[in-house]
Amino acid sequence: MKPTRRAEFLLVCNLGTAALATAYPAFWWLWAVVLVLCLALVLVDAQRTRRNPLPTVTRSVAAVLPVAVWTQVRYRLENHGETPLSLTFRDIPPDGSEHRHMEGAMTLQPHAWHEGAYQMRPLQRGDLHFAACLLVVDSPWRLWKRVARIPLPEEVRVYPNFQEVAHYALLATNQRLRSFGVHRRRRRGEGREFHQMREYVPGDPLRQIDWKASSRMRKLIAREYQDERNQQVVFLMDCGQSMRAQDDMLSHFDHALNAVLLMTHVALKHGDAVGLMTFSGAHRRLAPRKGAPQLNLILNNVYDIQPSLQTSDFEHIAEDVLRFVRKRSLIILVTNLRDEDNDELQQAVQLLRRKHLVLLASMREKALDAVAKEPVMTFEDSLRLAATYHYREARQAAVDNLRGRGILCLDTTPPDLPIAMINNYLDIKSKGLL
């Protein structure tokens, strides 16, 4: 219970009459009357406030939330008492989140209810725990504020931002992939797996004509092939300290998770099996499998992983892959390439290439591009620009060295990683490299 300004005003009135009685003893009776009246008002109001039952509170929030996306949280308050309640509601959001428009002031009539909402944005993946909410109830005469902490435990899961997967699925359904940045290279009739028989179209290679079928149908019939299915894609996700680099609200590891999520959806749609392994921090391993349930399985196994402070151990994960993945697969190594990792990374990739096709997907900091575009006004600006160019050149030299050794490698900013990975995957499929 906390006194309000009205209670403080009564205290001031009492002090005023006490000062008057001290100066003029004849007014002592006035001070006694004011004192008794103030005490009676305060005590009765406090008793009435404590006697009134608190409203019941319920919270409604989705069990699964995407990271860094504003989500609505709804709440409901019900007054089961016989007197109106004027109160303010405030939820206690979990650590690792931010909120807006949370506090709500309202008046609840007897046996009435009120529903409201506020917005919350999780800032990190994993399990978030709601603990309680706060109610500040005004007393009937507004002399007290009753502050109550109502236990309201609830747990939600924060996943990588899966909105891009839904967006991609919608575009794929509507055959508008090009507007999403995905370029599918059509090759009429080419591929390695038989797809269907169809009528010959001028421009088709002559080797595709099925002469037996053509003689039966008395017209030219061509065999049409498609890209191979039933292949394997295995992601190697670096959880080391280099993936802690921050771009906007998300770390490089969060961007990598979004890209892997979207790429998994695409590969499964193309009939391939998808697996995943993490290293240099959390160690998770999922065997390659086909079908839509694999996407949910990957989500449930990686949503709570955070990048560690360990250095990236590429050789160790390469040895694990050779023991774990028996079938020739497309290995997509997702990391943040640093020039000091070049030698160890080369050895690991060369080890993997003995059996698998390797695609190195590396992210570079957007801040490097931003610094290169800023005007140089001071000596400190020139030093920062020189250091940036030196770092970029060393990094580019490491990438060029890998490409020079015949290693498939892409180097892009984190927001562009998902589409770059998809385009490279589709290009590998169309060329039959796997």
Same-fold call for 56-159 versus 163-185+229-431: no
Q: Which residues contact 227 (CB under 8 A, 6 or more apart)?
A: 191, 192, 193, 270, 429, 430, 432
Cβ–Cβ < 8 Å for 152, 133: yes
Q: How far is CA 52 from CA 42, 77, 104, 144, 429, in A?
A: 16, 15, 20, 13, 70
The counts of H helices and E strands in the chain are: 11, 20
pLDDT grade for 75, boundaries at 50, 70 and 90:
very high
Question: What is the pLDDT, as a whole number, of residue 149?
Answer: 93
pLDDT at position 338 is 78
Whether the per-residue pLDDT at 205 is higher than 60: the answer is yes
**Residue 55 pLDDT level (bands cut at 50, 70, 90):** very high
Does pLDDT of 32 surpass 90? Answer: no
Q: How far is CA 158 from CA 59, 99, 230, 247, 293, in A?
A: 17, 15, 32, 19, 19
Tens of pLDDT, residue by residue over 84-130, are 999 999 999 898 899 888 878 899 999 999 999 999 999 888 899 99
Cα→Cα distances 290→128, 219, 252, 270, 412, Å: 31, 39, 27, 10, 28
- Above 60 in pLDDT, residue 70? yes
Which stretch, 74-78, 157-161, 175-179, 247-251, has highest mean pLDDT? 74-78
Mean per-residue pLDDT, 272-278: 95
Write 266-269 long-range contacts (CB < 8 A, 24+).
266/168, 266/422, 266/425, 266/426, 267/233, 267/425, 268/292, 268/294, 268/295, 269/172
pLDDT band at 248 (very low <50, low <70, confident <90, very high): confident
| CA-closest candidate to residue 97, choices 172, 174, 154, 38 | 154
What is the overall mean pLDDT for the chain?
A: 83
pLDDT at 194 over 60: no
Residue % of the chain over a pLDDT of 70? 90
Which pLDDT belongs to residue 278?
Answer: 95
- Going from the C-alpha of 113 to that of each of 78, 110, 116, 136, 183, the distances in angstroms are 4, 9, 10, 16, 54
What's the CATH superfamily of 163-185+229-431?
von Willebrand factor, type A domain (3.40.50.410)
Question: Between 395 and 59, whose confidence is greater?
Answer: 59
Cα 267 from Cα 235, distance rounded (Å): 11
- Overall pTM surpassing 0.85 (yes/no): no
Domain locations in the chain as residue ranges: 2-51, 56-159, 163-185+229-431, 194-226
From residue 154, alpha-carbon distances to 61, 124, 132, 191 in Å are 9, 17, 9, 52
What proportion of the chain, given as a percentage, has pLDDT over 90?
Answer: 32
From 32-46, 246-260, 369-383, the region with the lowest mean pLDDT: 369-383
pLDDT of residue 176: 45
- 72 pLDDT exceeds 90? yes
Mean pLDDT of 392-417: 84
Output the pLDDT for position 166. 59
Average pLDDT over residues 34-44: 82
pLDDT in tens, 280-291: 988 999 999 999
Q: Return the CATH fold of 56-159.
A: Immunoglobulin-like (2.60.40)
Q: Can you read off the two tokens belonging to residue 249?
A: 């609200």
* pLDDT higher than threshold 60 for residue 24: yes
User: Residue 367 above 80 pLDDT?
Assistant: no
